[in-house]
């Protein structure tokens, strides 16, 4: 009997041992076989989840540390459908707080798309509304009967950051905006998008706490400090808006920069939009080039271009300030007749008189004497027809026809000399003119003053884009322009400060020739002449009260300059002379 | 016994993991609150708001006729170098203590090695 049971026991033991050995052999086979890597990879996938850490977008400050763009917390309001026990209550509560139709919300919750577990009711909800919803959730939990779920169970509030512009529309043409997807459009936001946005880090986070890895450090996006002065920007925008109203101009642009280093102090362009409500972009602008007219919208500048023509003529030795010119009121070039702006003959003049009275005939004659090759070589040096290299997105290059182009004619040399038949942006003209105010050296206009990253501030050095004219030419022309303004008793003059500058009134080309009675009024000027610390460009489109730059753009220049010397603490010439006295 | 030790270590690791998660969430919330406060501060000190406040207090914009320049021999206004309140360097999370990642056998080995070596630390 015992032997029989012994055999049974032995047989069962052998069977179990066989099974155990088989299991072990199978384990070894699986772990060492060809499919081992596949199983290992599958195991790894089950043991970890991918997670992307997004850095916080860098802030933007003005040159004095005032925040122009930052981040604020907004909320996504959604419903976990499987947990929602009282959908009508959620719909009514969320509808009342968020100002949405409750019946629509309830309909969405009652009939969600197949397979949907979580439904977004509203996104980008302000924190005060989210706080109200949270409070109602707490109240609902407190009122719920013992052992029963809250009526608002399933309502989920998820916080996430949103770009915020605390100054509203101020400097919006410079800043641009950020879409809900986090991408920057226009201005600084687009140009420095990758720096501001930072680099997202994607890591595999183990689900097994035994394998908990270090939390990756995701550096925030780079913070930018701009050269813009907030107070000056606000004043310039205010002056521009008043000028548009006063002169009944359709649009306008004002750029103020430091001609020594190219730092843009203020840049105003109309129209402006509040970047906090970037979805209004399509309502405010018809096309992208209108967002910042100073750098995206080329136009025929008119007589402000004579500054560059005269600079080229002086530097090439074609003329000197005292070179005489007998103005007969017309000149024939390439089979076309060129007239002065008033169709009159101004008689005997010198080069200062030509600038003072803005004589087209004189400048056309000077350009002819210079020759097309020399003239266009200088224009090329001044960067006309090329991008300035500014650090704002959306810059246009304009167009300068040159000999050899199929649409260039000899008359273009004459018209180009007084700023017609050539399209430039205000930023191009002001950049070219920095050479005249800055001892012949042309600067690259920029808005980035410094970057702050990982607690360190990096200054951005000024960049120069060549020396189109000599320092002597620059000084001579500055004096000529200052004298011409003084002789003219220009509306651009600023009491206490010596200013150099030039007006411009340009006809506007239409589909068939130039439009009658419509002009672009411009003014470019800088000061103080002996030590230029600011340069201002004004462009008013189609002013109605007067078509002349001298009566519209020049006074606007004066208003901006008066404000600028106050805000930038630039003492009058007499005070500076006293300071300089040993 | 081995099972109970293993269970104890695992539960400790799980608790530590949860604490880390909570602290991470707190960091995120504090950063959000900080950003909100900065943004709010910028709003209430915006150019428009400050101008309105100044006007309500009876101030008016200055013009050049109301300015008086005082010469101070030898004085030169210093240019600001640090313009923005910079954020302090945020170090990476401290490395995990080995207790949270090592196996039971490794832990036993480390304990046995520790028994053989002289005690470290102590009062000086």
- The secondary structure of A84-98, three-state, reads CCCHHHHHHHHHHHH
- The two tokens of residue A91 are 């719909």
Q: Tell me the nearest-neighbour CA distance from A233 into chain B, angstroms.
A: 10
Which chain A residues have a beta carbon less than 8 Å from that of B32? 73, 159, 161
Determine the pLDDT at residue B100. 63
pLDDT number for residue B119: 45
Looking at every residue in chain A, the average pLDDT score rounds to: 91
**Dihedral of alpha carbons A33, A39, A44, A50, sign:** positive
- What percentage of chain A exceeds 70 in pLDDT? 97
Mean pLDDT of A78-105: 89
Q: What pLDDT score does B81 carry?
A: 58
The whole-number average pLDDT for the span B103-118 is: 76
Q: Which two tokens stand for residue B90?
A: 């945020």
Element (H, E) at A30: helix A2-32
Cα atoms found within 13 Å of the Cα of residue A252, Cβ hemisphere only: 29
Contact between A67 and B42 using a beta-carbon 8 Å cutoff: yes
The alpha carbon of residue B4 is apart from the nearest alpha carbon of chain A, in Å, by: 16
Pick A146 or B10 by higher pLDDT: B10
Over chain B, what is the mean pLDDT?
76
Least confident stretch, A107-121, A176-190, A278-292: A107-121
CA distance A440 to A430: 13
Place A205 in a pLDDT band, splitting at 50, 70 and 90: confident
* A268-308 pLDDT per residue, tens: 999 999 999 999 999 999 999 999 999 999 999 999 999 99
Separation of alpha carbons A442 and A425, rounded Å: 16
Contact B90 A56 (CB under 8 A): no
Helix (H, G, I), strand (E, B) or coil at A494: strand
Question: Are A176 and A188 contacting, i.e. CB atoms less than 8 angstroms apart?
Answer: yes
- CB of B39 within 8 Å of any CB in chain A? yes
H-helix or E-strand containing A164? strand A155-164
pLDDT the model gives residue B111: 83
d(CA A547, CA A355) in angstroms, rounded, equals 19
What is the CB neighbour count within 10 angstroms for residue A160? 13
Chain B contact present for A581, CB below 8 A: no
pLDDT value at residue A364: 96
Counting one residue from A and one from B, how many pairs have CB atoms under 8 Å apart?
129
Any A CB within 8 A of B20 CB: yes
Question: Between B88 and A347, where is the model more confident?
Answer: A347
The predicted model gives A64-86 an average pLDDT of 89
* CB pair distance less than 8 Å for B39 and A167: no
Position A158 pLDDT exceeds 80: yes
Q: Across residues A458-483, what is the average pLDDT?
A: 95
Q: Which of A161, A217, A223 sits opposite B92 (nearest CB)?
A: A217
User: By CA distance, what is B86's nearest residue in A?
Assistant: A455
Q: Could you tell me the CA-to-CA distances from A123 to A133, A279, B37 in Å, in that order?
A: 14, 14, 21
User: How far, in Å, CA of A26 to CA of A22, rounded?
Assistant: 6
B chain contacts of residue A449, beta-carbon cutoff 8 Å: 83
Inter-chain residue contact A234 with B51, CB threshold 8 Å: yes
Cβ of residue B17 closer than 8 Å to a chain A Cβ: yes
Q: How far is CA A487 from CA A353, A357, A480, A482, A553, in A?
A: 9, 10, 10, 9, 18
Q: Which residue has the higher pLDDT, A298 or B21?
A: A298
For A341-355, B54-68, B97-111, which range has the lowest pLDDT when averaged over its residues? B97-111
Query: Would you call B88 an interface residue with chain A, using a CB distance cutoff of 8 Å?
Result: yes
The two beta strands, A223-226 and A60-61, are parallel
Sequence-distant (6+) residues with CB within 8 A of A400 are A376, A379, A380, A384, A385, A416, A422, A423, A424
Q: Is the pLDDT of residue B3 over 90?
A: no
Note the pLDDT of residue A218: 78
> Which residues of A fall within a CB distance of 8 Å from B69?
571-572, 575
Question: What is the mean predicted confidence (pLDDT) over A343-361?
Answer: 94
**A58, A126, A127, A212: best to mutate for the B interface, most B CBs within 10 A:** A212
* Contact list, B71 vs chain A (CB under 8 Å): 575, 578-579
pLDDT, mean of residues A216-222: 82
Give the pLDDT band (50/70/90) at residue A209: low
End-to-end CA distance of chain B: 38
Rg (CA), chain B: 30
Asked whether residue A267 carries a pLDDT value surpassing 90, the answer given is: yes
Q: What is the pLDDT of residues A495-533, one digit of tens each?
A: 999 999 999 999 999 888 889 889 999 999 999 999 999
Specify the residue for token string 């005249």: A436
Please give, rounded to a whole number of angstroms, the shortest distance from the CA of B79 to a CA of chain A. Answer: 11
Better-predicted residue by pLDDT, A581 or A511 = A511
**pLDDT at res. B83:** 54
The reply to whether B75 touches chain A by the CB within 8 Å rule is: no
B96 and A65 within 8 Å at the Cβ level: the answer is no
Q: Does residue A167 sit at the B interface (CB-CB below 8 Å)?
A: yes
**Rounded mean pLDDT, A42-55:** 74
pLDDT value of position A2: 66
H-only helix segments in A280-359: 281-284, 293-296, 306-315, 351-356
What is the per-residue pLDDT for A212? 56
B43 touches chain A (CB under 8 A): yes
Task: Give the distance from residue B101's alpha carbon to the nearest chain A alpha carbon, in angstroms.
Answer: 5
Categorize the per-residue pLDDT at A351 as very low, low, confident or very high, splitting at 50, 70 and 90: very high
What is the pLDDT averaged over residues A32-36?
Answer: 82
The yes-or-no verdict on residue B16 having pLDDT over 90 is: no
Contact flag B16-A209 (C-beta cutoff 8 Å)? yes
Say which residue, A193 or B13, is predicted with more confidence.
A193
Which chain B residue shows the shortest CA-CA distance from A126?
B36
Are the Cβ atoms of B101 and A212 closer than 8 angstroms? Answer: yes
Per-residue model confidence (pLDDT) at position A210: 59
How distant is the Cα of B55 from the closest Cα of chain A, in angstroms? 15
Where do the domains of chain A lie, and which CATH numbers do they carry?
Answer: 60-226 (3.90.1310.10), 230-274+295-580 (3.40.710.10)
The least confident of A392-396, B43-47, B116-120 is: B116-120
Q: What is the mean pLDDT of residues A544-550?
A: 94
- Cβ–Cβ below 8 Å for A571 and B69: yes
**Interchain CB distance below 8 Å, A210 and B42:** no
H-helix segments, chain B: 2-44, 47-56, 104-116
Which of A59, A73, A231 lies closest to B32 in CB terms? A73
Contact B47 A164 (CB under 8 A): no
Q: Are A272 and A258 in contact (CB under 8 A)?
A: no
pLDDT above 50: residue B86: no
Listed residue (A441, A443, A439, A438) closest to A462, CA to CA: A443
- Asked if residue B91 has pLDDT above 60, the reply is no
pLDDT of residue B113: 83
Shortest CA gap A286–chain B (Å): 28
d(Cα A356, Cα A365) in Å, to the nearest integer?
16
Which of B43, B84, B33 lies closest to A165, judged by CA?
B43
> What one-character-per-residue DSSP string does A53-84 give?
EPPPPPPEE-TTS-EEEEEEEEEEEEEETTT-
pLDDT of residue B123: 34
Beta strands per DSSP E along A395-455: 448-453
How many Å apart are CA A31 and CA B7, to the nearest integer?
26
Categorize the per-residue pLDDT at A581 as very low, low, confident or very high, splitting at 50, 70 and 90. Answer: confident
Confidence of residue A385 (pLDDT cuts 50, 70, 90): very high
CB-CB under 8 Å, A455 with B87: yes
Name the residue with tokens 């100054």: A167
Confidence at A251, pLDDT banded by 50, 70, 90: very high
Q: In whole angstroms, what is the distance from residue B9 CA to residue B15 CA?
A: 10
Q: Is A213 on the interface with B (CB under 8 A)?
A: yes
Q: From the candidates B36, B70, B96, B100, which should be mutated to test the interface with A, based on the most A CB atoms within 10 A?
A: B36
Helix (H, G, I), strand (E, B) or coil at A68: strand
B69 in contact with chain A, both atoms CB, cutoff 8 A: yes
Query: Would you place residue B87 in the very low, low, confident or very high pLDDT band (cuts 50, 70, 90)?
Result: very low
Residue B92 binned pLDDT confidence (cut-offs 50, 70, 90): very low
Residue pLDDT, tens place only, A397-429: 999 999 999 999 999 999 999 999 999 999 999
Residue B66 has pLDDT above 70, yes or no: yes
C-alpha distances (whole Å) from A271 to each of A173, A268, A281, A447, B104 are 9, 9, 11, 20, 69
* pLDDT tier at B105, thresholds 50, 70, 90: confident
């Amino acid at each position: 009997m015992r032997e029989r049971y012994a055999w049974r026991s032995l047989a069962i033991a052998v069977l179990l041992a066989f099974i155990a050995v088989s299991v072990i052999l199978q384990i070894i086979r699986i772990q060492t076989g060809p499919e081992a890597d596949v199983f290992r990879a599958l195991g790894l996938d089950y043991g970890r989840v991918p997670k992307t850490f997004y850095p916080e977008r860098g802030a933007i400050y003005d040159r004095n540390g005032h925040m122009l763009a930052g981040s604020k917390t907004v909320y996504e309001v959604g419903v976990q459908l499987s947990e929602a026990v009282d959908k009508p209550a959620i719909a009514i509560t969320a509808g009342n707080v968020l100002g949405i139709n409750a019946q629509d919300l309830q309909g969405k919750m009652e009939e969600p798309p197949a397979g949907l577990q979580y439904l977004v009711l509203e996104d980008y909800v302000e924190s005060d509304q989210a706080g109200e919803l949270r409070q109602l959730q707490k109240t609902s939990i407190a009122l719920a009967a013992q052992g029963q779920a809250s009526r608002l169970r399933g309502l989920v509030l998820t916080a996430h950051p949103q770009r915020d512009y605390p100054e509203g529309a101020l400097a919006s043409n410079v800043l641009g905006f950020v879409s809900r997807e986090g991408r920057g459009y226009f201005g600084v936001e687009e140009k420095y998008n990758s720096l501001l946005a930072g680099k997202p880090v994607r890591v595999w986070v183990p689900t097994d706490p035994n394998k908990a890895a270090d939390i990756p450090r995701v550096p925030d996006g780079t913070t930018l400090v701009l050269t813009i002065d907030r107070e000056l920007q606000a004043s310039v925008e205010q002056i521009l808006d008043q000028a548009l109203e006063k002169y009944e101009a359709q649009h306008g642009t004002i750029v103020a920069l430091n001609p020594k280093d190219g730092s843009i102090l203020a840049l105003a362009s109309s129209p402006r939009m509040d970047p906090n409500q970037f979805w209004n972009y399509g309502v405010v602008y018809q096309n992208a080039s209108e967002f910042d007219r100073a750098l995206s919208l080329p136009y025929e500048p008119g007589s402000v271009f004579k500054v560059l023509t005269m600079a080229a003529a002086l530097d090439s030795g074609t003329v000197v300030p005292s070179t005489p010119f007998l103005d007969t009121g017309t000149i024939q070039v390439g089979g076309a007749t060129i007239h002065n702006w008033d169709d009159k003959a101004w008689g005997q003049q010198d080069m200062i008189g030509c600038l003072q009275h803005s004589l087209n005939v004189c400048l056309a004659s000077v350009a002819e004497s210079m020759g097309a090759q020399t003239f266009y070589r200088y224009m090329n040096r001044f960067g006309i027809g090329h991008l300035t290299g500014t650090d704002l997105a959306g810059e246009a290059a304009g167009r300068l026809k040159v000999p050899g182009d199929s649409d260039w004619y000899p008359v273009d040399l004459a018209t180009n000399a007084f700023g017609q038949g050539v399209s430039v942006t205000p930023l191009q003209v002001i950049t070219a003119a920095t050479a005249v105010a800055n001892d012949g050296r042309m600067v690259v206009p920029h808005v980035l003053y410094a970057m702050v990253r990982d607690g360190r501030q990096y200054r951005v050095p000024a960049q120069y884009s060549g020396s189109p004219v000599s320092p002597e030419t620059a000084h001579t022309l500055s004096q000529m322009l200052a004298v011409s303004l003084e002789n003219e008793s220009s509306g651009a003059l600023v009491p206490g400060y010596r200013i150099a500058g030039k007006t411009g009134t340009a006809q506007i080309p239409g589909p068939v020739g130039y439009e009658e009675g419509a002009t672009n009024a411009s003014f470019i000027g800088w000061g103080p002449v002996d030590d230029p610390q600011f340069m201002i460009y004004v462009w008013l489109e189609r002013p109605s009260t007067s078509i002349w730059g001298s009566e519209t753009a020049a006074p606007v220049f004066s208003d901006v300059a008066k404000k600028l010397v106050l805000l930038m603490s630039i003492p009058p010439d007499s005070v500076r002379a006293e300071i300089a006295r040993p | 016994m081995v099972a109970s030790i293993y269970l104890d270590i695992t539960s400790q690791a799980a608790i530590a993991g949860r604490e880390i998660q909570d602290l991470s969430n707190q960091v995120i919330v504090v950063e959000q609150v900080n950003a909100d406060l900065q943004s709010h501060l910028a709003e209430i000190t915006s150019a428009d708001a400050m101008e309105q406040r100044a006007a309500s207090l009876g101030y008016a914009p200055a013009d050049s006729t109301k300015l008086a320049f005082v010469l101070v021999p030898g004085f030169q206004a210093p240019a600001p170098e640090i313009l923005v309140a910079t954020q302090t360097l945020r170090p990476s999370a401290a490395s995990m203590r080995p207790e949270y990642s090592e196996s039971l056998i490794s832990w036993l080995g480390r304990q046995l090695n520790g028994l053989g070596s002289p005690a470290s630390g102590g009062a000086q």
